[in-house]
């Protein structure tokens, strides 16, 4: 069926409600818009769904959401685990609550019990709830940090981590078997409640989650010593973070916490920001204004589903608030928890430190310093969650810390996804710890550079929307594979790792080997002088991403080397 036939079907099929048909009728003269909405089915990928909210097969709506849910339900039933139930949460995005309701009632109609949060909750708490309640799966309705027009649907498995192989592919097969929207089951909420299939959850899970976070505190006594002098500015960026963040900070004893009032309330339109992403410096404008007003020690922002954290802290020399990348924040947390656990004699000899392949090589240096086993995984925190599960089963290693460059990390194993709530807690404790020594968080970052080297990383992205954009991204990846570069500017390429072809080629010796990580459309280039570059299409956005990193002897040299590498990479790609 071509896109026009799909459009006509949606306009006429009795499965679709009158409101949907009326809206689609209003675009009947807009050929390009019809094509974009119907040229493909919104793909249920290894992470679930993500797309623009609207009617059509290529949009996030009640029909595409419940199609995915029906496929998941069929898989759960096939596996014989429907009695364990499914936990469901949602963030502040437009339609998140509605999609969560439709999801629950579809599962209920299939005889699967659901535990749905009474109001919005962050990703890490959903991950925690799956294991706490002994569920077979979890679903989070969120598009993370995407612009307001997006929403998404993330699936978690019984270990609290996002689905990985082989479960992901098996669920995808079941979703793809739903070829007609009439195959989707649903029921009335009142009936689901009466049958004991629909259960609301809330405060009990909140309380248990908070208790787990507090277990990760290393120096609670330091907080009490500096609590009157330490000032924290925080913004949830209209998302889910405000309640859990302010609660954990209050319960730990932080007394001067200032929440940005304009961004405190949940709002799916994100009226004060163009892009609710703590990686974007524009998202910090109001927080920094408040920070200067109250003379804050640390400025924090979480994204709408509170799995990512952005940070600013003051430079003692210039008195300016300085931004931290996700890599920098990860390294600050890693150094703090590893050094202080070692100091207290609670750092295990078989500790493991996990990073993704596009994250900073400073992690390698810190791991070596504290005799941790460093492990690399593909991009995506689900692979870190997978390692935690593996450690629990084999007992070979004890998880200490995991992070990825995209502003996400996890301290502890209470959750199996990025947790910005615990990251806020640990960073505020670290701020108190270093403040007692007369250091700001930025001062401590400089000390890390002086200790391990001036590592600096960057990312360049090219957005290519629609069908033509997807084809162009494919062309770029094919070109790099067919005509592999030997240099990026002045940087000689030592080794190329093609994770799709599962091949590692050393360009100096011409020897090849097999990769050990799962198959993925990723190209990684190891360069001379501890530098690197990695290219991959985004799994959640219409973008191709170019990651890179260098090591230098000063901040100035690091900035210059990274700038040169970025230019060289983009020149080859765009040639």
Q: Where are the domains of the chain?
A: 40-201, 209-452, 455-574
**Category of 123 on φ-ψ map: left (φ > 0), alpha (ψ -120 to 50) or beta:** alpha
**Category of 284 on φ-ψ map: left (φ > 0), alpha (ψ -120 to 50) or beta:** alpha
pLDDT digits over 181-235, tens only? Answer: 999 999 999 999 999 999 999 999 999 999 999 999 999 999 999 999 999 999 9
pLDDT over 70, % of the chain: 100
- Asked whether the beta carbons of 251 and 227 are under 8 A apart, the reply is no
Mean pLDDT, range 563-567, rounded to an integer? 94
- CA dist list (Å): 336 to 82, 310, 434, 574: 42, 18, 10, 41
- Asked whether the beta carbons of 379 and 536 are under 8 A apart, the reply is yes
Q: pLDDT value at position 573?
A: 78
Choose the catalytic residue: 100, 144, 217, 520.
144
Average pLDDT in the chain: 96
Mean pLDDT, range 465-475, rounded to an integer? 86
Q: pLDDT value at position 54?
A: 97
pLDDT digits over 151-188, tens only? Answer: 999 999 999 999 998 999 999 999 999 999 999 999 99
pLDDT digits over 480-495, tens only? Answer: 999 999 999 889 999 9
pLDDT digits over 385-439, tens only? Answer: 999 999 999 999 999 999 999 999 999 999 999 999 999 999 999 999 999 999 9
Which sign does the torsion angle of CA 129, 207, 237, 148 carry?
Answer: positive
The terminus-to-terminus CA distance of the chain in angstroms comes to 37
* Residue 575, pLDDT above cutoff 70: no
* Cβ neighbourhood burial of 29 (10 Å; 0-12, 13-18, 19+): exposed
Strand order in the sheet with 321-324: 257-259, 232-235, 298-302, 309-314, 321-324
* Cβ neighbourhood burial of 373 (10 Å; 0-12, 13-18, 19+): middle
Q: pLDDT value at position 46?
A: 77
pLDDT digits over 62-84, tens only? Answer: 999 999 999 999 999 999 999 99
Mean pLDDT, range 289-306, rounded to an integer? 98
40-201 fold? Alpha-D-Glucose-1,6-Bisphosphate; Chain A, domain 3 (3.40.120)
Q: What is the CA radius of gyration of the chain?
A: 24
The one-character DSSP state at 41 is P
d(CA 356, CA 377): 5
Phi, psi of 334 (to 5 degrees): -60, -50
Phi, psi of 260 (to 5 degrees): -60, 110
Q: pLDDT value at position 15?
A: 95
Task: Label the pairing between strands 531-537 and 523-527.
Answer: antiparallel
- Asked whether the beta carbons of 234 and 244 are under 8 A apart, the reply is no
pLDDT over 90, % of the chain: 92
Closest to 335 in 3D by CA, of 373, 301, 368: 368
359 is an active site residue: no
Asked whether this chain's domains 40-201 and 209-452 adopt the same fold, the reply is yes
Label residue 276 by pLDDT band (50, 70, 90): very high
209-452 fold? Alpha-D-Glucose-1,6-Bisphosphate; Chain A, domain 3 (3.40.120)
Q: pLDDT value at position 470?
A: 87
455-574 fold? TATA-Binding Protein (3.30.310)
d(CA 524, CA 546): 10
Which sign does the torsion angle of CA 356, 366, 252, 266 carry?
Answer: negative
pLDDT digits over 4-42, tens only? Answer: 999 999 999 999 999 999 999 999 999 999 999 999 999
The residue ranges of DSSP E strands in 305-430, in sequence order, are 309-314, 321-324, 351-356, 373-377, 398-404, 408-410
């Amino acid at each position: 069926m071509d896109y026009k036939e799909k459009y006509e079907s949606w306009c006429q099929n009795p499965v679709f409600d009158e409101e949907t048909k009326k809206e689609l009728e209003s675009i009947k003269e807009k050929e390009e818009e019809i094509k974009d909405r119907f040229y493909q089915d919104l793909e249920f990928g290894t992470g679930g769904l993500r797309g623009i909210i609207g009617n059509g097969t290529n949009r996030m709506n009640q029909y595409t959401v419940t199609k995915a849910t029906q496929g998941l339900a069929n898989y759960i039933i096939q596996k014989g685990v429907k009695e364990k139930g499914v936990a469901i949460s949602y963030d502040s995005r437009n339609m998140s609550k509605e999609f969560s309701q439709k999801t629950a009632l579809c599962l209920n109609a299939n005889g699967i019990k659901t535990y749905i949060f009474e109001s919005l909750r962050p990703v890490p708490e959903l991950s925690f709830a799956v294991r706490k309640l002994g569920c077979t799966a979890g679903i989070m309705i969120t598009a993370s940090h995407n612009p307001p027009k997006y929403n998404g649907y993330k699936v978690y498995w019984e270990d609290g981590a996002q689905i990985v192989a082989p479960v992901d592919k098996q669920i995808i097969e079941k979703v793809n078997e739903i070829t007609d929207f009439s195959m989707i089951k649903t029921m009335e909420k009142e009936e689901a409640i009466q049958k004991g299939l629909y259960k609301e959850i809330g405060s009990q899970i909140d309380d248990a989650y908070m208790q787990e976070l507090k277990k990760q505190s290393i120096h609670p006594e330091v907080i009490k010593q500096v609590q009157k002098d330490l000032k924290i500015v925080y913004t949830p960026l209209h998302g889910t973070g405000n309640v859990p963040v302010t609660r954990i900070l209050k319960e730990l004893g932080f007394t001067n916490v200032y929440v940005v009032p304009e961004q405190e309330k949940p709002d799916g339109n994100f009226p004060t920001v163009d892009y609710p992403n703590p990686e974007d410096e524009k998202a910090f404008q109001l927080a920094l204004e408040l920070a200067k007003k109250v003379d804050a020690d640390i400025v924090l922002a979480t994204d709408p589903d509170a799995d990512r954290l952005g940070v600013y802290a003051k430079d003692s020399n210039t008195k300016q608030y300085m931004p931290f990348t996700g890599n920098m924040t990860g390294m600050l947390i890693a150094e703090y928890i590893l050094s202080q656990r070692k100091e207290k004699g609670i750092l295990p000899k078989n500790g493991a430190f996990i990073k993704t392949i596009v994250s900073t090589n400073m992690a390698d240096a810190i791991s070596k310093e504290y005799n941790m086993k460093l492990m690399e995984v593909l991009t995506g925190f689900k692979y870190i969650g997978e390692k935690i599960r593996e450690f629990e089963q084999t007992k070979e290693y004890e998880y200490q810390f995991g992070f990825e460059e995209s502003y996400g990390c996890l301290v502890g194993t209470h959750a199996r996804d990025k947790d910005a709530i615990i990251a806020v807690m640990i960073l505020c404790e670290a701020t108190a710890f270093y403040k007692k020594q007369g250091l700001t968080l930025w001062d401590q970052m400089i000390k890390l550079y002086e200790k391990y080297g001036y590592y600096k990383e960057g990312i360049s992205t090219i957005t290519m929307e629609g069908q033509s954009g997807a084809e162009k991204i494919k062309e770029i990846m094919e070109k790099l594979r067919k005509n592999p570069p030997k240099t990026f500017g002045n940087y000689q390429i030592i080794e190329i790792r093609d994770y799709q072809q599962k091949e590692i080629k050393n360009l100096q010796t011409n020897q090849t080997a097999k990769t050990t990580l799962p198959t993925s459309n990723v190209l990684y280039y190891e360069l001379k002088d501890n530098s690197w570059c990695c290219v991959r299409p985004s799994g959640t956005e219409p973008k191709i991403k170019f990651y890179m990193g260098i090591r230098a002897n000063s901040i100035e040299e690091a900035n210059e080397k990274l700038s040169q590498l970025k230019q060289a990479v983009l020149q080859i790609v765009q040639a």
